[in-house]
Each structure stands twice: as structure tokens, then as C-alpha cells.
Amino acid sequence: MRLSKYHEAKGEMALLEWFLLLGFSAATILVHGQPGDTMTPTKSIADGQTLISSGGTFELGFFSLGVSKNRYLGIHYGAPDKTVVWVANRISPLSGATGVLNLTGDGNLVLLNSTGYIIWSTGTSNANNPVVQLLDSGNLVLNEGTSNNLLWQSFDHPGDTMLPGMKLERNLRTNVDSTYTSWKSSSDPSPGEYSCKIHINAVPEIFIWRGSVQKVGRIGPWNGRGFAGVPDTKPHNSFTYNLPSNEYEATYSFQILDNSILYRNLLTETGAFQGLVRVKPNLAWVAYSRFPKDQCDKYAICGANGVCTASYTLACDCLRGFSPKSPQNWRLGNNSDGCVRRTALNCSSDGFFELQQIKLPDTSNATLHSNKSLEECEDLCLKNCTCGAYAINGGIGCVTWTGNLVDIRLFTDGGENLYIRLASSELGQTRGNYRKKKLVISIIISSLAGFLLLVCGIQLLWKKNRKRKQGETLSTHYREGRGNELELPLFDIHTIRTATNNFSEDNKLGEGGFGPVYKGQLEDGEKIAVKRLSKGSVQGIHEFTNEMSLIAKLQHRNLVRLLGCCIEGEERLLVYEYLQNTSLDHFIFDRKRSAFLDWQKRLDIILGVARGLLYLHQDSRLKIIHRDLKASNILLDEELNPKISDFGTARIFKMDQIEENTNRVVGTYGYMSPEYAMGGIFSVKSDVFSFGVLVLEILSGKKNRMIDQAEACVNLLGHAWRLWMEGRCLEILDESVGCAYPESKILRCIQVAFLCVQEGSENRPTMTEVVLMLSTESALLPQPERPGFCIAPPLMERDLSSNNNLTVTIEGR
């Protein structure tokens, strides 16, 4: 739409007036300098100029996002942070740096492009003496100067960010429904797939939607202090949450009580709702709260009357008194059918079972009864034959449910208690009888399912035998070897070929000694990464089956998740979860990408890898030595969380076993410990050494390879050790980290790294001690001794070849 007051004429006259307007704007800026925090009809803001709030916290101006060349007008934190919190023209970007923001005399704030078209406006009019001001809260307000009457404010038009003082509102009387919407990507702020809205049920809850029909998360219910479904949203001495409500309206907001911190909520492009805090002047944003935290936070993931628990793996179970509606689907991991009652209710004889520390069910089918005690709430539910459960929801009151109980999860800390209505026979069973009955049912179901799986397995093998070529194949090897240990879903080759577009070169993510890795997408939309073992791979059948059987038994947030495998003919394929940010080496060794890794993110990655190794060494049901821990084997998810991958060379230890000797050394030079590379001796301390090298690489942004040919210590370890001995170890820090970082924490990380790479394995800490030293500043650290491999290349080559019986396989993956 063209602004008629500016452009009544068409063609050349309109273009001439545009240049005159632009010239007037430039002249105004030259006369008045930077516009400060206010704007009147006599001022304009062109690209390169800004409004700055009085305290300097926020700026309004033009900017580009990520790799995009489009220009946007919006609000961001002041220099040097520049985190964007609001975008005016998120749907209509400018194609060049020629946009101008004007305030008309009658009070309409308009953004014009190079041809004079309005691409965004406030749509206000009929105002006297209008004034635009950027407040230090981040709110852009348009007031009528004479009466200070608020005409428009940016807080009423949110994007993906919620600031202190902003509101998430639902008003059934006025039909006001404020919605937060995610960006499409970090370089495209247009509305993405996810939105966040408040719902007024029995008690207020916040739902995250994908599109307009799919609920993907429920932050709630509100219990008077915070959201019971997100225990870490409880009040803090630096900020507080508010959600006043009644049956017609509810408004969520939060306030900052400590001026030394900044706080914002963010709905990410992947549908996560994060509470981010930053302590001034530290530039690192830290996640104070996050939803979803794990798979159990996915809406109704266990179906109706199911309850979800999450430790290292997700587990669905039925509420007491309920059984799976489709037992076969549950055994296959599909819990969406939920659970149904085993015994019908009898209103006159029913009782209640207490389920503790849970996220209360969706309150869409619930009713709030204020000012009721626990006993009164129980009596109220008992007298209503349609009432299936009740709870006291914090300071809100008594809540009763009818119908199915949906979206329940267990917490290890926090949560509320739910009282579930059951038939007297369910409550009257002794614990022993209940367990016996459950055991009998489990045996029957397991036997039937086992028989069906056996029949399916025989049929599957028969089909495969018809296709199998002569010669040794992986399937033959696996059946004769460790086939009984296989606990993975099997994908057929047709599914994998379809997902990867027949292993198209366009889908190839990379290639190493084992063969190529392809990106794919299954029919249900899930993205996968397919590792295809090539015929000439240095990773043979043994390593492939080793990786398949090992990782199938391992589940941890910092280990890559193996979804299944494909064994058909000579095809050997592993199907992993797809991680869009590929591997750590693509970030820390790349000048542009390393800018995404501030100090806090690097520390988070270090801690994540440390916890993953601790799980492998001690907390899993197997004791695993990875043997090839390096930057390229650390994959990063969409939020740059680390996941250890590639278990082809890993080995299982007995729990009481300390070390093992091998004459087939496999790994990557630079990460191998001295005793492993020289003598084939490996243990948990071999992984600890590799971890120490990785920490130094993450901090420095440099590979553990040659630094200076003229020096005796030519690798990163030798270089860093020299700086440590000279008291200059902070000089190894990657310049992209910036200058705002806690020196004491970085020095602690460097010292821990040196403790890990000490030449003697007996001197190195365990991963338990490493995690403690990294996460607890009060833990005392010993002084490290000289690291291994601070030697010159000729001596190194001579040592590696001195043992004629030792085979060293260095895999450049």
C-alpha cells in the first residue's frame, strides 16, 4: 500500500519526492546527530541511525541477521551484545540499506522502502503532537504528546522474545489473545512453526503449538508461585513470576528485582521455551529454565492415563489400575494409544491412590474449587461419580478431573501429588498379590509377543536369504557371532534408499575411513544420519558390529542416539539421530563458526563431554573405553549440546578391570595417550588423556598438531605447557571468545586439562574427579606434571616404529 499523503502523483514524481524525503531525513540527522531515545515528526531514522534508550540497554535500528542480506528494523540489546528482541518488519524485509522510519504528523509510525512503499506501520492516526520513545524496558511506545495518551506499544506485538513487563495474555471478554511465535531460523525472523499461548482451563496453563492444531508442550499448570510442570520456574530473589487470573482472563508476566541482571524468555525455532539470564556486564546468556527438558515434556507422549519418567531413557507406564490399550503397540515403543482402566468404577465403594511428585494432568477437563482443604477436595470428588482424580494445586485450590488424565510425568524433585480414583478391588490388593498378578500378565504378554517376533523373524530371514549373495556378509557374521545381543530396530534397505534419495551425493554429510554418511528423512518426517560402511573401509565387520551392539546398550543425553541398523546382503548401515550442527571440529577450528562459541558455551560443551565419558566409564551398565575421543567424534545438536559418537573402536571392560593390552592400536594420533600409542596399553585413563587434549583444543581453537617447527615442543600440548610454566597460559585462549570471561574458571579448565594429559596414567584423574573439579570451584586442584608427547617428530617416529610387533592404525576420520 502506498502512502497517499506522500505520493499523490505517480511515476517520476513519486520517485522524485522519495529522494527529497530521503534528503530531508539525512539533513535532519546531520543537524540533530543521533536522535537519542525519542522521535517526533520532524525526525527520521535511516539505516545506520538508531534510537537508544536512556540507560543504554536497548537500541532501535536497522540490522541484518546471520547470513541473510535482508535488512530489518527492530530492537536489540545495546552494544556489544546486539541480541535481537523485537522485529517490526519480520514478514516484509528490506532488500537493501535504504529503509527510512518516519512518524507522520497525525501519529502513524511508518517504515518505507526505497520506492516509497509502506512495508510496515503502526496503523495509528488522528493524534496531536505524537512522540515515539524507546524505553529502557525495551518497549517502543507511541504517545500523544499533549495528553501522554498511549497510542501503540511494541510490547503488544510480540515476536519470539518476552521481556520483563511484557504480558502473555488471554481475555475472553475482549478476545485479546497475545501470541509469541518462533522465528523460522536464526537469519529469518518471519513467523516459524511454533507459537506460545496462554489457556484458561481450571487453572491457567501455557501451551506450545506446532502449527494451529498440534499441541507439542504444556507449561503448567500455574500453582500460584510458578508452573508446576517446570519446577525451576519457582520464584527467585532476582526475578519473580506473576499470573493473575479468573474464569475470563489470565495474564502472565515476570519482573526483575535485581538491576545487575538481564532476563528474557525465548521461544526458539525448534519450539523450546527458554528462560535466559545474563549478569551485567558478562555477555554470556545462561539458560536458567528450559522447556522441554527431555522427551517426557512432549505433550501426551505416553497417551491418556499414562505417566512418563525420564532418567537416561524415556519410559512410559500406565497409572495404577490401568493397562495399555494396545499392549502390542506399547511393546514396540508406541505409547500414543495410552491406557484404560482394568476395573470399572463403583461410585459407592471407590477409593483413591496417591501418586506423588508429578506434573498434574492437562486441566482442559478439570474444575477448580477454591478454598478447599485436601480432605474437602477428596470428599467433593468422591461424591461426584464422574470425578476421576483430584489434587491441591499449590496455592490455587482444589482441582478435580473427569475423563482421561493426559500429559503426566514424574519428577525426582518438585511437582504435586495427584489422587487417582480406583475401584476398591484395585486398592485392596496386597503389594505381593499385585506384583504376582503383574508378573503373570507380563509373562503371558512377553510369551505371545516373543512368539510373534519369532514368526516375523523367520519370515524376515527367509526373505533376506533369497537376496543374499555368496561370500561373507555382515548378517552371516553377526548371526554367528553376537546376534543374540542385538537390541535395535531393523530398517529395510528400501526405506533407507528412499530416505537418502538413493544415497544421493547431495545428501552426503561427509566421509571417513569407514565410508560415507548421508542425511535422510523418514516417511514420518524424522531426520536421520546414515553411516554406510564401504567395502574398502578400514573399519571392518568387527568394528561395525562392535559399534552396533555397544551403542544399542547406551543411553545418555551426551551420547549420540542410534535409531537402528540395516543388514541386507553386503549393505552395512547404522541409522543415527540427525544432528544439524555436525561435529565440534567444524566449529572450534573455523574462524567464522567459532564466533558462536562464547566462553559459557565452550564450558557447557566441555562439561557435556565429561559427563558422557563418566557415563561410559562408570554409570552405564557396561564399562566402556571409547579409544577415539576427538573433536570430529563430538556431534552438536541444534543448541550446540555435545554428543559423543563413533563407537567402532570402543572396548568393554569388566567392572573390576583396570587396563588391557592390545597389539592393534586404533585411534587418531594427537589424541592417543603415550602408553597406548607406544605399548598398546589402554584404560579409562586413555580416554582421560584424549579428553584433556580436547579441552585444550576447545579453549584455544587450535588443533593438537605442529605449532612451531623451530621449537622442540611442536604440538598444542607442548605450546600450552610452555605458556603455563611461564604464567601466560591465558594466551592460548581463542580470540573469538572475546574479552568478557571469568579468568579463574578458564585457568581452572586449563589446569584440569593438564592434569588429564600427564605423561603417567596413574597421575591422571578419573572422569568422576574431572567432573567434580570442573563443576565445583571449591575443589582443590593439584599441580600438574609434564604432559605426554612434548617431543620432536624424529624421536616420535622412532618410538612408534621401535616395536615391530605393534600395529598402529591411525584413522583419519
pTM: 0.53
Q: What does CATH list as the number for 12-156?
A: 2.90.10.10
CATH code that applies to domain 581-810: 1.10.510.10
Whether the per-residue pLDDT at 650 is higher than 80: the answer is no
- Across the chain, which distance is largest between two alpha carbons, in Å? 93
Can you give the residue ranges of every domain in the chain? 12-156, 161-293, 306-428, 429-457, 468-578, 581-810
Active-site residue identified among 350, 407, 628, 646: 628
**What's the alpha-carbon Rg for the chain, to the nearest Å?**
31
Q: What is the dihedral of CA 184, 185, 186, 191, to 10 degrees?
A: 0
Say how many residues make up the chain: 813
pLDDT in tens, 601-613: 999 999 999 999 9
Q: What is the pLDDT of residues 526-579, one digit of tens each?
A: 899 998 876 554 445 556 665 666 666 677 889 888 888 887 777 888 888 888
Residues 6 or more apart in contact with residue 616 via CB below 8 angstroms: 554, 559, 623, 624, 625, 626, 644, 650, 687
In terms of average pLDDT, the best of 43-47, 472-476, 575-579 is: 43-47
Q: Are 310 and 274 in contact (CB under 8 A)?
A: no
pLDDT tens per residue across span 59-81: 999 999 988 899 999 999 987 78
Helix (H, G, I), strand (E, B) or coil at 685: helix
Amino acid at residue number 208: I
567/419: higher pLDDT: 419
From 313, 206, 250, select the one nearest 561 (Cα to Cα). 313
What number of other Cβ atoms are within 10 A of residue 318's Cβ?
Answer: 22
CATH number of 468-578: 3.30.200.20
Grid cell locating 358: 508429578
Q: Which residue has the cell 551420547?
A: 559
Quickly list DSSP for 141-178. Answer: EEEETTTTEEEEEGGGS--SEE-TT--EEEETTTTEE-
DSSP string, 189-257: EEEEEEEEEEEESSSEEEEEEETTTEEEEEE--B-SSSBTTSGGGS--SSEEEE--B-SSEEEEEEEES
CATH 3.40.1350.10 fits 306-428, yes or no: no
Give the neighbor-by-neighbor strand order of the sheet with 118-121.
44-46, 100-103, 109-112, 118-121
pLDDT in tens, 701-743: 998 875 544 444 468 888 899 899 888 888 899 888 876 678 8
Q: Is 628 designated active site?
A: yes
Q: Spell out where 724-786 has E strands.
A: none
pLDDT for res 464: 54
